[in-house]
Homo-oligomer: A and B are copies of this chain.
């Protein structure tokens, strides 16, 4: 499997001179991504593409090739795969659509046969292929002007739907999520979810695995593999087609037969896989699991400069079955001495609209030591005039101590966004809405308290 992600030479079958064609975009992206290996464009109608020598057939290439990307029409894709077999290429990504997903099951069966005959491992067809940020391998046929590539990081994402996957990638890149590997595997004719999480489970660069799937090809094997993987790193899954309406749509999309969601959810939970109910959940869970660490328990202390936000956060923490104890009497006494009488030292600790950055420092210092909490939910509303912006340094410092996982809620316009970005670059998970922060803390606690 590793040759998919770290190939020494890649062939692009269907490399094109037309800027709108998939075969052009893939070649361009691969070069722009800084891939250091050799690239062999294949196209019988061209001699040069993007200043690279172009070969009429893969069989004309003398050098050995680790990975072939097939981006030719369905009618000639089978032949291209056969040629890859003859050339002894063992890793193939087939971008081409027009197989099982449109009812062409015969062609899909032929794909399988060719793979078996030549011992080819195949990703696809009907997919975007893969992105290995760390090695500059990028077979996505989406231009970088429209889909910004994420920075290097610890999240790996595998997706049945190319469109869903690529938009997630795009939004995560914008929001500073770091990525290790991305695989859009389409029809999963050969390589499927179980293969991919098994590989990523052993990949030292991957620390969080996210999955979007409409069905799981080898259900039992997937659960068995997942159960092992989650002991090492969290696995989050979002399923499409969880209702009859969605399942009907899924049947048209990748010919997936979606089963009962309740059964699915139960099985996943038993295997230790985290089930996201929405794309937004997937984002929030991935964020906190990438950035944070193991809490000792489920007790959360809220520190806020907005009373209403503290109340909303308390509501959602309660709904998430997290626990809010008051700080110890010792902590309360100590803080009350340091604060004006208008501040409320309970849970939440409400520093009110008059809060200064130093008040957060005092509250954080006390709460990180307090035995009545395991996690800290900080609400920082940057709109108040007396809150100095060195608040971010205080939070970054407190987080570096790694005493208790922290999450920050901030809501607002550009001023707020600026400081949110700084905190996130320092590995502090930030959320806009209190309910999302509460749900993320719940997932963090549940994952680590179980394993």
Contacts and interface: CB of A to CB of B under 8 A. Distances in A.
Interface of A: 20, 22, 25, 97-98, 102, 141-143, 145-148, 159-168, 170-171, 173-174, 212, 214, 240-246, 248-250, 252-254, 277-280, 302, 305-312, 314-319, 324, 341-342, 344, 346-348, 350, 352-353, 381-386, 411-417, 432-436
17 contacts: A147-B415, A161-B309, A163-B307, A163-B309, A167-B381, A167-B416, A174-B413, A240-B315, A243-B318, A245-B314, A245-B315, A245-B318, A246-B318, A278-B434, A278-B435, A279-B411, A280-B436
Given A170-B383, A243-B314, A249-B311, A147 B412 contact: yes
A83 B170 CA distance: 59
A253 B311 contact: yes
A142 B384 contact: yes
A413 B177 CA distance: 12
A240 B434 CA distance: 11
Nearest to A389: B146
A384 B159 CA distance: 16
A214 B311 contact: yes
Contacts of A170: 383, 411-413, 415-416
A308 B252 contact: no
Nearest to A252: B344
Contact of A434 (B141, B214, B279): B279
Given A249-B311, A412-B170, A163 B97 contact: no
B147 A350 contact: no
B142 A312 contact: no
A320 to B, nearest CB: 10
Among A145, A308, A344, A435: residue with most chain B CB under 10 A: A308
Contact of A20 (B142, B161, B214, B386): B386
Contacts of A250: 311
Nearest to A414: B174
Given A241-B315, A253-B307, 15 more contacts: A102-B341, A141-B385, A164-B312, A168-B411, A170-B411, A170-B415, A171-B411, A171-B412, A171-B432, A174-B417, A240-B311, A245-B324, A249-B310, A249-B347, A252-B344
A252 B147 contact: no
B278 A433 contact: yes
A170 B419 CA distance: 15
A319 B243 contact: yes
A308 B331 CA distance: 50
Given A381-B166, A413-B171, A415-B145, A249 B386 contact: no
Given A163-B306, A170-B411, A240-B312, A142 B383 contact: yes
Among A252, A254, A307, A353: residue with most chain B CB under 10 A: A307
A164 B319 contact: no
A164 B315 contact: no
Nearest to A142: B383
Contact of A159 (B308, B316, B383, B413): B308
B385 A252 contact: no
Contacts of A145: 415
Given A245-B315, A312-B240, A315-B242, A254 B307 contact: yes
A308 B383 contact: no
A162 B347 CA distance: 20
Contacts of A242: 315
Given A214-B308, A306-B167, A350-B253, A342 B385 contact: no
A9 B254 CA distance: 67
Contact of A146 (B241, B243, B341, B383): B383
A344 B103 CA distance: 12
Nearest to A174: B413
Given A161-B306, A306-B163, A252 B350 contact: yes
